[in-house]
Structure 1
Amino acid sequence: MAEESSARLTSAMLVGALRRRVSGAGGFATILVKGDDISGVILIQALEKGQEIGLFERVPNLMGGYALMRCGPAPAEGAEAMAQYVARRRRSDPDLWIIELDIPEAERFAAETIC
């Protein structure tokens, strides 16, 4: 009997799909930091018209899928707090992807595409 394999999209494939979808909707998606192609954690830096909305991380959920979870400092804490958080994350996880999305409802676009 053949063993069933669980096909899983790689981080690089998910990021590519997200970039195409955001671009197709008239927004901008930029890879700030390229992580591990296969299983790097994906961190979304969400903006709308250049204004920081927040950081969101793709995390496993209890149902065996994925969800986006807000992480890092609140935008009101300023750019320096955000930069320090991102620097700490990169030091602790060199395989981390950081993707900047500038589009209305960036969190929704990310959740629908990579979760």
Structure 2
Amino acid sequence: MLVGALRRRVNAAGGFATILAKGDEISGVILVQAVDKGQDVGLFERVSNFAGGYALMRCGPSPEEGPEAMAHYVARRRKSDPDLWIIELDIPEAERFAAETIC
């Protein structure tokens, strides 16, 4: 439900959101691949903030390490956690959209 809401919100704002991998609908971790005009901005994971809520935390390699490093990280995460959701957001301030919607 959260991933669907994020996708609709980004699309309504003129961006592009696509689900790269579907995870478990109840307990799947959400990984957001932020992109701006086709350029990688970074990966962000929805994590518990230990106060009963959630936050986005930067994870994985930096965009400067290149697309191969990011693809390898995502493949490794997906292999170790088949319940993982991966959604790509191509919109300016993708991190803000994700934080406002899924946290």
TM-score > 0.5 by shorter chain: yes
Who wins on radius of gyration, i.e. which is larger? 1
Cα deviation, 1:7-36, whole Å, max 9, x if unaligned, reads: xxxxxx000100010000000000000111
2:39 alignment partner in structure 1:
51
Q: How many residues align structurally?
A: 103
Letter in 2 for 1:55: L
Q: 1:100 aligns with which of 88, 91, 103?
A: 88
Query: What secondary structure sits across from 2:75 in the alignment?
Result: helix
Matched, 1:113 2:93: no
Report sequence identity in percent: 83
CA distance in structure 2 between the aligned counterparts of 1:23 and 1:83, rounded to whole angstroms: 24
Deviations 1:42-89 (A, max 9, x none): 000000011100000000002110000000000000011001101110
TM-score by length of 1: 0.88
Structure 2: which 5+ residue stretches go unaligned? none
Which of 5, 9, 21 is the matching residue for 1:21? Answer: 9
In structure 2, what residue type is equivalent to 1:52?
D
Question: C-alpha separation between the residues in 1 aligned to 2:22 and 2:70?
Answer: 18
Q: Distance in 2 between matches of 1:92 and 1:62?
A: 23
Amino acid corresponding to residue 79 of structure 1 in structure 2: P
The ranges of structure 1 where at least 4 consecutive aligned residues each deviate by more than 4 angstroms after the TM superposition are none
1:43 and 1:84 map into 2 onto residues whose CA distance is 14
Please give the secondary structure, in 2, of the residue aligned with 1:68: strand
Give the equivalent residue in structure 1 for 2:70. Answer: 82
Instruction: Give the alignment's Cα RMSD to 1 decimal.
Output: 0.5
Q: 1:80 and 1:59 mapped to 2: Cα distance? A: 25
Unaligned runs of 5+ in 1: 1-12
> 1:78-111: per-residue Cα shift (whole Å, max 9, x none)?
0110011011101110000000000000000000
